[in-house]
Chains A and B, each alone.
Chain A
């Protein structure tokens, strides 16, 4: 354990509002209870503790949602849409008509975080976040319930992400604009950001168009210990020890953290030079211990001549976007709104 516990607790309390501190500390301790030292995971306890919410076909604050199970894969996707201005349309989802024949309505495929292990598309924190995304961008959001580790290791999450992308692309009711196509962005926080990268890379190789990637403190890593990892270990809710655990749970047995899933631009990584990779918005929290890996990722994209915008929020901790009670949240929402602007 790096540093004394008391110092660390005091540090984190100074930088986030009280209710955020309570929320994230609660997750931290609950997650500690669920991870076992032998690498197994108490899934029952995890599901019991996770706060879930049902979808709601009736609009709440301008957004309605419904769940769809993809018959072929058994994958559950939760679809969020802005409610129609016409009240008579409320409670209706027409799976025959496109979103719009004239305007472009972006569809953001969202991969929730949880270090590949925790949370679901119907977790309360992610349901709430997706609803905010819909309102900010006036877009449709599809939240993917990908299979989690350690029960399902690499490449399951990526396969599920790819399946979701193909599913979204093939829905006529997600089409918009004069050209009747589905305008897709990929987004994700933590492990979800990692998934978004890898799905985008596969899409680029398969010539499937993705308009943009939004990576919210994406989960990357590597074998060596970086300066930020050493400096911030245990200080702001996250420890190196738990990061290591989640990588061991996700990567194939016996692999190390330079596996390209974890370290896409590392010694075993691949350049994206020449590929039609989407433009990226990478958000880094200045108090996140893995920021050096995220910054390295940004450099890797640049070296591959890919379009990337870095949003570095110096005083932000992980999970700053769960509650709209801080400046970082609003800065983030503005950035995302501009990024997903259909006129760009």
Chain B
């Protein structure tokens, strides 16, 4: 598979600079980050270098004096966000300066500050550190990575070239040229193996382009874009089975939710897209096994309304209740039927001020990014009421891709990379019909990204760096996912999946990808407490 032009459109938003002389000073300089260490993947303020060096020295001494097996301690310790070198060193320091009998890890997972050990004398006062999330703009905002597979057949390369040219024509409004290119590509497809590799992906993109040209961007009609909620659930379930992306999402989110719920007797999970409730049996079972016993668990599942008088939300709820009963977890379910997430009002969730709330969003937030300039953007509205619930944690999983750029050609080429990689990873799956249906699931995403616009285009994926900026700006702060979650995710992969999948740590978040290309990113967040404004939850019955 070959790479091609992605920066041709006027006003291209590609993140990389063109020539070094015209670049603005990198954001790292502006925030006093040592630029050379940043190139090595570490964020350390120049003004803090000496302090960090001193702590490294102390850590070395502490490790040298450590009586127990060093690596055993290391295996037990949970590490967070290695890019933040200062806090990583600090967390290890507190690990190694504990008296040997204490196995509790003295880290406040919320603030990521070591809890001050009174027996330890320090030379300098322990200044609270502001953990800024500096986005490494140049590389992360537009990771135009591709993994080139060994399929360098001529026809494959030509197909990709033609796809790009066709997309460019579409962007320029040269529809007749685009149409003849579609014909040529259909012809070329007959000479290429469309059962796998570049042929398969290309055919989906050709379809999507055709749809855009011939049916317009309204998104109506055609089996690939429509489909009932029921059908979508089936496809989602098969996507879940065929590859590890959703399992990783659920697993990682559940781990974080479990930790956030520690010590709470009444907990409430709000799931932004219940589907078949695949995520929750594992959490219910984990809560059942919790030392000290399970809490009362309330689950509020949001999903589209079902036609024909069926209440699929309630059916799922009943099944989960059955499971909870069988493991002695007190459980209550509530379904909230809404066609769009932005139609949900916080009072519908009936959050009790005494319970610990977890908001769980698996690939839902991006759907709120379509903006109608006459209204407040839905994402701001929703993030604001999430904050008002004062959740203990908000777990967010999103596709790690830049599919919401304004320029069509940019979006198209990014999507071609992304979905080619995803299809490559799917090759390893051999189970049918899971694989075939998973492919249809992905096909629908492709069709939406490529052939829809405006409110019809809901697949508005944005990369982690953008979500960080957005969520930080909306009053959330990151809850780093640690090395324990990383390790368990890696184990999950070796158990369930083919070679080639890779979990990576990205400044407190975890990504799952195929080879070196991350495809899905999981992160956890907490609302920044705002003492100035109290948000009583019972009174959120605002007139709609």
Contact = CB atoms under 8 A, between A and B. Distances in A.
A53 B41 contact: yes
A18 interface: yes
Interface of A: 1, 5, 9, 13, 18-19, 21-23, 25-26, 28-29, 32-37, 42, 44-45, 47-49, 51-62, 66-72, 74, 76, 78, 87-88, 90-96, 122-125, 128, 322-325
A181 B143 CA distance: 32
A42 B7 contact: no
B222 to A, nearest CB: 31
Interface size, B (range): 35 or more
Given A9-B57, A54-B517, A33 B148 contact: no
Chain A CB within 10 Å, residue with most, of B16, B143, B157, B505: B16
B17 interface: yes
Contact of B139 (A53, A71, A123): A53
14 contacts: A22-B56, A45-B483, A48-B505, A52-B504, A56-B142, A59-B16, A61-B17, A67-B146, A91-B144, A93-B3, A95-B152, A128-B39, A323-B36, A323-B39
B146 A74 contact: no
B138 interface: yes
Contacts, number: 205
B487 A44 contact: yes
Contact of A66 (B42, B83, B145): B145
Contact of A34 (B2, B74, B145, B499): B74
B85 to A, nearest CB: 6
Nearest to A58: B16
Contacts of A5: 60-61, 64
Q: Return the 6 tightest CB-CB contacts between A and B, nearest first.
A: A51-B41, A71-B150, A124-B41, A33-B74, A58-B16, A91-B6
B157 A96 contact: yes
B69 interface: yes
B3 A35 contact: no
Interface stretch (B45-53, B186-194, B274-282): B45-53
A23 B5 contact: no
Interface of B: 2-8, 14-18, 20, 34, 36-37, 39-42, 44, 49-50, 52-53, 56-57, 59-61, 63-64, 69-71, 74-75, 79, 82-83, 85, 89, 92, 138-139, 142-152, 154, 157, 413, 483, 486-487, 490, 499-500, 503-505, 515-518
Given A22-B56, A32-B63, A44 B40 contact: no
Contact of A55 (B5, B41, B145): B145
Given A33-B92, A49-B82, A60-B139, 13 more contacts: A21-B53, A25-B60, A28-B60, A29-B92, A34-B71, A47-B490, A48-B487, A52-B41, A60-B16, A67-B145, A68-B149, A74-B500, A91-B144
Given A76-B516, A92-B4, A19 B146 contact: no
A35 B75 CA distance: 11
Contacts of A78: 516
A95 B157 contact: yes
Nearest to A73: B150
Contact of B53 (A22, A53, A57, A61): A22
A48 B150 contact: no
Nearest to A17: B36
A181 B365 CA distance: 51
Contacts of B44: 19, 22
Contacts of B49: 18-19, 22
B37 A22 contact: yes
Given A26-B85, A33-B70, A56-B143, A48 B486 contact: yes
Contacts of B89: 26
Given A91-B7, A93-B3, A1 B64 contact: yes
